[in-house]
């Protein structure tokens, strides 16, 4: 059925989609739940963070083929997905920009693929708190000479490189410029998800417990489209890059 792709591509009220397709609203709801669960069953196949020595080495080599930062295997970043304000603990979902959201933290590699997605945190939670509670933090804390690139929202760690603060020296400026240039890819990838899967850009109107699942499905479908080199997806991503839309 076309209900799930219709919803994630052009979100709206389920009742509106039901009327458009000539079906009952409960059919829309049940279909979204059923399809999202099936997609999530394949999550580990399509979103994989390198954890073995071999996979980490491959990720490092791939990074250096296109970028310059040594020992890097990817970038970490966050993005907000709007949701209706929950009845319980609603204020926790009001982010620093003043709107209600869940906060999605993700890591990506140099091949425009997401390697981990955490999509269950309220919008008010700080980047560093999500990071410290993530499975990726645990993996990298046990690795040597392996780093992710992050922005100033994170603290400097042996496995997470962040910009110098209060920069005065030229060498520090050069370091920050390179870091900014290489970590900005995740902002572009977030945009590539939000352009075709507009539910992650405008508003996810599912019951709160199911919001993270719908959002995670969008990231999984992004990786699948990249793997299949889907022409429609690539054209849309190119338009996004030219428009500068994040």
**CB of 58 closer than 8 Å to CB of 73:** no
pLDDT for 6 equals 84
User: Which ranges of the chain does DSSP label H, i.e. alpha helix?
Assistant: 3-9, 14-21, 25-40, 43-46, 53-66, 127-132, 135-140, 170-183, 185-194, 211-228, 231-243
Question: 241 falls in which pLDDT band (50, 70, 90)?
Answer: very low
Tokens 């609203």, residue located: 25
Residues sharing a CB contact under 8 Å with residue 244, sequence separation 6 or more, in sequence order = none
pLDDT in tens, 16-39: 888 888 888 889 888 889 999 999
Rounded Cα distance between 48 and 59, Å, is: 12
pLDDT in tens, 124-164: 999 999 999 999 999 999 999 999 999 998 999 999 999 99
Proportion of the chain above pLDDT 90, given as a percent: 63
Burial (CB count <10 Å: 0-12, 13-18, 19+), residue 71: middle
Pick the closest to residue 144 from 47, 73, 62 (CA basis).
73
pLDDT in tens, 158-203: 999 999 998 889 999 999 999 999 999 999 999 999 888 888 877 7
Rounded Cα distance between 15 and 28, Å, is: 8
Question: 246 falls in which pLDDT band (50, 70, 90)?
Answer: very low
Find the radius of gyration of the CA atoms of the chain: 19
- Helices 14-21 and 25-40, interaxial angle, to 10°? 110
pLDDT in tens, 210-225: 788 999 999 999 999 9
The size of the chain, in residues, is: 246
Pick the closest to residue 238 from 188, 166, 201 (CA basis).
188
Rounded Cα distance between 192 and 211, Å, is: 19
Tokens 């690139």, residue located: 149
pLDDT for 242 equals 42
Pairing type for strands 147-149 and 72-82 reads parallel
Supply the pTM of this predicted model: 0.87
How do the domains of the chain map onto residue ranges?
A: 1-41, 45-243
**Three state DSSP letters for 102-162:** EEEEEEECCCCCEEEEEEEEECCCCHHHHHHCCHHHHHHCCCCCCEEECCCCCCCECCEEC
Residues sharing a CB contact under 8 Å with residue 2, sequence separation 6 or more, in sequence order = 21
- Helices 211-228 and 25-40, interaxial angle, to 10°? 60
């Amino acid at each position: 059925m076309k209900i799930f792709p219709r919803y994630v591509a052009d979100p709206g009220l389920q009742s509106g989609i039901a009327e458009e397709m000539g079906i009952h609203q409960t059919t829309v709801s049940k279909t979204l739940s059923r399809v999202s669960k099936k997609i999530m069953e394949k999550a580990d196949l399509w979103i994989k963070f390198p954890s073995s020595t071999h996979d980490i080495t491959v990720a490092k080599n791939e990074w250096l083929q296109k970028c310059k930062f040594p020992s890097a295997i990817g970038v970490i970043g966050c993005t907000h997905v709007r949701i209706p304000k929950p009845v319980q603990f609603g204020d926790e979902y009001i982010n620093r920009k003043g709107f209600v959201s869940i906060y999605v933290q993700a890591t990506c590699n140099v091949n425009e693929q997401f390697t981990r997605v955490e999509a269950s945190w309220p919008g008010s939670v700080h980047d560093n708190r999500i990071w410290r509670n993530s499975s990726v933090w645990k993996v990298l804390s046990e690795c040597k000479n392996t780093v992710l690139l992050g922005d100033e929202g994170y603290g400097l760690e042996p496995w997470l490189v962040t910009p110098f603060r209060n920069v005065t020296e030229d060498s520090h400026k050069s370091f920050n410029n390179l870091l900014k240039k290489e970590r900005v890819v995740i902002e572009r990838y977030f945009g590539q998800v939000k352009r075709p899967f507009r539910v992650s850009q405008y508003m996810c109107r599912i019951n709160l417990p199911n919001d993270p699942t719908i959002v995670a499905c969008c990231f999984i479908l992004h990786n699948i489209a990249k793997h299949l080199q889907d022409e429609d997806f690539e054209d849309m991503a190119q338009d996004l890059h030219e428009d500068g839309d994040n």
